[in-house]
Amino acid sequence: MASVKLIASSSSQWVGGRRSHHFEQRAGSIRPPVRRVSAAPIRAGSYTEELVQTAKSIASPGRGILAIDESNATCGKRLASIGLDNNEANRQGYRQLLLTTPGLGEYISGSILFEETLYQSTTDGKKFVDCLRDENIMPGIKVDKGLVPLPGSNNESWCQGLDGLASRSAEYYKQGARFAKWRTVVSIPCGPSALAVKEAAWGLARYAAISQDNGLVPIVEPEILLDGDHSIERTLEVAERVWAEVFYYLAQNNVMFEGILLKPSMVTPGAEHKHRASPETVAEFTLKMLKRRVPPSVPGIMFLSGGQSEVEATLNLHAMNQSPNPWHVSFSYARALQNSVLKTWQGRPENVEAAQKALLVRAKANSQAQLGRYTGEDESDEAKKGMFVKGYTY
């Protein structure tokens, strides 16, 4: 009886995130193995179209994000700087000043709120969410629960808040929020360690997937802190490493890139470096990093100011918009939009109108920078003062 030599040729495909192997017996000649790969679809549940439209609305020409999502403790520090007590009435009053500024929607497309603010109303009873909607500004919400020490790291942090995030996000959506923000940090003086970078990237990816599943466009923000005396080349090296890891895990979690926004740090030298970089140099290094790491399907890059002066943040943004980019390159500033406002207001009712005009001045300047038309003329000395605070916490 003739023997028949059985050859096992294999094919494999991805099933439910795992590789499934299939073996077929063949008689006769050997055939090379065939691998069949079917990629899992990128999905964002039932909110796909809405997420894309929300992201496009926020990433609209000449507009950016007003970030007023400081925790109550941090908002208290701002109020203390002008002699006000940290209580709900004062926090409400300050945020009412910001969110009821007439004409704000011409320059601002979204505003990130703290949870307290999302549920608050003006003193006349109008919901803050409705104030924003009337100006065609998307309400957003900070969803992370802050930084805590990361065990096993080099004195680094990780961001908490994934527990219960799905149910909280669903409630925020019902309240009117349409995008979310999660901030984690990476410290160059601390390494950064591989553990800290991986933890930051994984946490951001899980948050982004949960947000999209509940109708919120996630802002992905791994802030590379300005702390340190390192060079701009070192910042570029770390930024490329961090963003490579972030997008790897975003893809692993089936996050739809067309329905996210990024909030990166600009690539600058450390705040304590002996040389400051010009806006042109910051633009060159930052755009180099983005082009190497960020897919063009991402609609918007909304930079954080990170302690730069109001004018410095605007000049750097302007320099990045001197030639076309694959994405909407804009701003998501907190201190760089609010510093002059606070100093003008001083907690006095008679100064509200002047403070709102100060907000419009800064918002318009950054709108012009987004369009590549900022001149820097007539800027005050106050707007040129740096706001970096070593070890700053939100």
The pLDDT, as a whole number, for residue 271 is 82
The pLDDT, as a whole number, for residue 105 is 98
Q: How far apart, in Å, are the Cα atoms of 146 and each of 48, 84, 157, 158, 201? A: 28, 24, 10, 8, 15
Cα separation of 299 and 308, whole Å?
Answer: 25
Pairing of strands 18-27, 6-15: antiparallel
Name the catalytic one among 221, 310, 312, 379. 221
Cα separation of 184 and 159, whole Å?
Answer: 5
The pLDDT, as a whole number, for residue 387 is 46
Cα separation of 251 and 183, whole Å?
Answer: 19
The pLDDT, as a whole number, for residue 27 is 43
Beta strands of 188-345 (E only): which ranges? 217-224, 261-262, 300-303, 328-333
Name the catalytic one among 115, 223, 263, 312. 263
Residue 21, strand partner residues: 12
The pLDDT, as a whole number, for residue 376 is 80
* Residue appearing with tokens 């510093």: 339
Cα separation of 341 and 362, whole Å?
Answer: 9
Cα separation of 141 and 117, whole Å?
Answer: 9
In a structure prediction context, what are the per-residue pLDDT tens digits for the chain, which is 394 residues long? Answer: 444 444 444 444 443 344 444 434 444 445 555 555 444 555 556 899 999 999 999 999 999 999 999 999 999 999 999 999 999 999 999 999 999 999 999 999 999 999 999 999 999 999 999 999 999 999 999 999 999 999 999 999 999 999 999 999 999 999 999 999 999 999 999 989 999 999 999 999 999 999 999 999 999 999 999 889 999 999 999 999 999 999 999 999 999 999 999 999 999 998 889 888 999 999 999 999 999 999 999 999 999 987 788 999 999 999 999 999 999 999 999 989 999 999 999 999 999 999 999 999 999 999 999 999 998 877 666 555 554 445 545 5
CB 213 within 8 A of CB 166: yes
The pLDDT, as a whole number, for residue 274 is 87
Pairing of strands 300-303, 261-262: parallel
Query: How many CA atoms lie within 13 Å of 255's alpha carbon, on the beta-carbon side?
Result: 33
Cα separation of 14 and 20, whole Å?
Answer: 6
Residue 331, strand partner residues: 303
Q: Is 174 part of the annotated catalytic residue set?
A: no
The pLDDT, as a whole number, for residue 14 is 41
Tokens of 137: 């500004």
Cα separation of 14 and 37, whole Å?
Answer: 6
The pLDDT, as a whole number, for residue 331 is 98
**DSSP string covering 336-385:** HHHHHHHHHHTT-GGGHHHHHHHHHHHHHHHHHHHTT----TT--TGGGS
Q: Is 221 part of the annotated catalytic residue set?
A: yes
Cα separation of 379 and 381, whole Å?
Answer: 7
User: DSSP character for 304?
Assistant: -
Q: How many CB atoms lie within 10 A of CB 82?
A: 15
Cα separation of 264 and 261, whole Å?
Answer: 10
